[in-house]
């Protein structure tokens, strides 16, 4: 059996208390608590519970949306569902209802598993994070996930979406409805009756954890809406260069083949040529 040291709990109620708590060796935030055990507790000496901090808010100001990091997936869906927001679509399908009641935004960003239903929409929306601790201030999410130093001894306090008004389509590749996805695809689009004004595409779960498909975005940005979107999509997909590791009983080749097919379908759905259910 793994040797687990006695764990000290901390319950700050003010953000001012956080930096000092997190400078201690082996002390990490505890939010929903659904992910901490995946990593094992052998090096954990202390857990800083975030539930007494004021981190469960939804604020809208000047077109920007700010979400507190301790909001659960369920609370986020409830806050955003009326607007048809892409995050409401993706988080509504994640895991099971009891888990959605616990899993939080901050814990899910910090952990970033390949099965995340949160990270595709947030990366596509070019989210920014508010951080407190060894690093404090506002940083782009894309920097947080690629710079290990930003994640050490640091608490995510909120997520800012400066422009959340995109039309979104989300796909998760699962074996059953409550399964975690082997990969997911997020497409955000703005279009008029004639042209694609702007498009963003993010794949989660490929090698390197995620890819923003800028090669396809560049080919489609400003392109006329075709009579038959299949042709445009096939040309765009030909520019793709991504791979998947084998996982969940799927081979790498099979996952790549599935991802290409599902990318075409998701783009088709975003262009309005087909309807699809995200799950
Ligand atoms: C059976 C099962 C199935 C799941 N399926 C899915 C799924 O289909 N889709 C999906 O999206 N997710 C799914 N999840 C959730 C996912 O695997 C993680 O467990 C979850 O995202 C972690 O979030 P949490 O709030 O529980 O974080 P916690 O467990 O509290 O923490 C996870 C990590 O983040 C750190 N942390 C916590 N809060 C913060 C913060 N505010 N700032 C900085 N660091 C922080 C912790 O120190 C820890 O290292 C599933 C989980 C389980 C158990």
Same domain, 81 and 153: yes
Which of 68, 111, 118, 120 most suits a substitution to test ligand 1, by most atoms within 8 Å of the C-beta? Answer: 111
Instruction: State which H helix or E strand residue 186 sits in.
Output: strand 184-191
Max Cα-Cα span within the chain: 65
The alpha carbon dihedral of 179, 36, 205, 214 has a sign of: positive
Cα(239) to centroid(ligand 1), Å: 34
Same domain, 191 and 261: yes
Asked if residue 3 is part of any domain, the answer here is: no
Q: How many domains does the chain have?
A: 3
Same domain, 110 and 182: no
From the CB of 46, is ligand 1 less than 6 Å away? no
What residues are paired with 48 via a beta bridge? 10, 29
- 29, 70 contact by CB (below 8 A): no
Residues in the chain where the model's pLDDT stays below 70: 1-5, 164, 227-229, 232-233, 236-237, 273-279
Contacts of 80 (CB under 8 A, 6+ apart): 58, 87, 88
Cα(113) to centroid(ligand 1), Å: 8
What are the helix (H) ranges across 152-244? Answer: 214-220, 229-237
Q: What is the pLDDT of residue 279?
A: 45
Q: What is the pLDDT of residue 121?
A: 97
Q: What is the pLDDT of residue 234?
A: 72
Q: What is the pLDDT of residue 232?
A: 67
Q: How far apart are CA 191 and CA 197, in angstroms?
A: 5
Domain boundary among 111, 146, 161: 161
Mind listing the pLDDT tens digit for each residue in 99-141? 999 999 999 999 999 999 999 999 999 999 999 999 999 999 9
Asked if residue 138 is part of any domain, the answer here is: yes
Cα(131) to centroid(ligand 1), Å: 17
pTM summary value: 0.94
From the CB of 76, is ligand 1 less than 6 Å away? no
Asked if residue 1 is part of any domain, the answer here is: no
Asked if residue 213 is part of any domain, the answer here is: yes
Mind listing the pLDDT tens digit for each residue in 253-279? 999 999 988 988 898 888 876 545 544
Q: How far is CA 73 from CA 69, 95, 117, in A?
A: 10, 10, 10
Q: How far is CA 110 from CA 32, 40, 103, 133, 221, in A?
A: 12, 15, 12, 14, 31
Specify the ligand 1 atom closest to the Cα of 29.
47
User: What residues make up the domain containing 71?
Assistant: 58-161
């Amino acid at each position: 059996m793994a040797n687990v040291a006695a764990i000290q709990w901390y319950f700050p109620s003010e953000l001012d208390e956080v930096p000092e708590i997190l400078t201690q060796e082996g002390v990490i935030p505890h939010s929903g608590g659904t992910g901490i055990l995946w990593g094992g507790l052998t090096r954990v000496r202390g857990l800083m519970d975030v539930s007494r901090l004021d981190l469960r808010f939804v604020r809208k100001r000047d077109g920007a949306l700010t979400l507190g990091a301790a909001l659960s997936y369920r609370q986020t869906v409830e806050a955003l569902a009326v607007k048809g927001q892409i995050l409401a679509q993706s988080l509504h399908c994640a895991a099971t209802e009891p888990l959605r009641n616990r899993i939080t935004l901050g814990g899910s960003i910090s952990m970033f598993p390949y099965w995340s239903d949160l990270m595709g929409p947030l990366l596509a929306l070019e989210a920014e994070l508010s951080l407190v601790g060894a690093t404090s201030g506002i940083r782009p999410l894309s920097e947080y996930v690629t710079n290990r130093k930003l994640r050490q001894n640091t608490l995510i306090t909120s997520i800012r979406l400066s422009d959340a008004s995109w039309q979104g389509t989300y796909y998760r590749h699962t074996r059953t409805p409550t399964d975690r996805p082997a990969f997911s695809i997020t497409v955000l689009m703005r279009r008029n009756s004639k042209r694609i004004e702007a498009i963003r595409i993010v794949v989660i779960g490929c090698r390197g954890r995620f890819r923003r498909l800028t090669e396809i975005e560049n080919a489609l940005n400003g392109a006329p809406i075709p009579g038959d979107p299949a042709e445009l999509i096939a040309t765009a997909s030909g520019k793709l260069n991504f791979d998947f590791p084998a996982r969940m009983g799927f081979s790498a080749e099979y996952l790549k083949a599935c991802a290409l097919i599902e990318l075409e379908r998701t783009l088709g759905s975003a262009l309005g040529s087909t309807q699809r259910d995200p799950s």
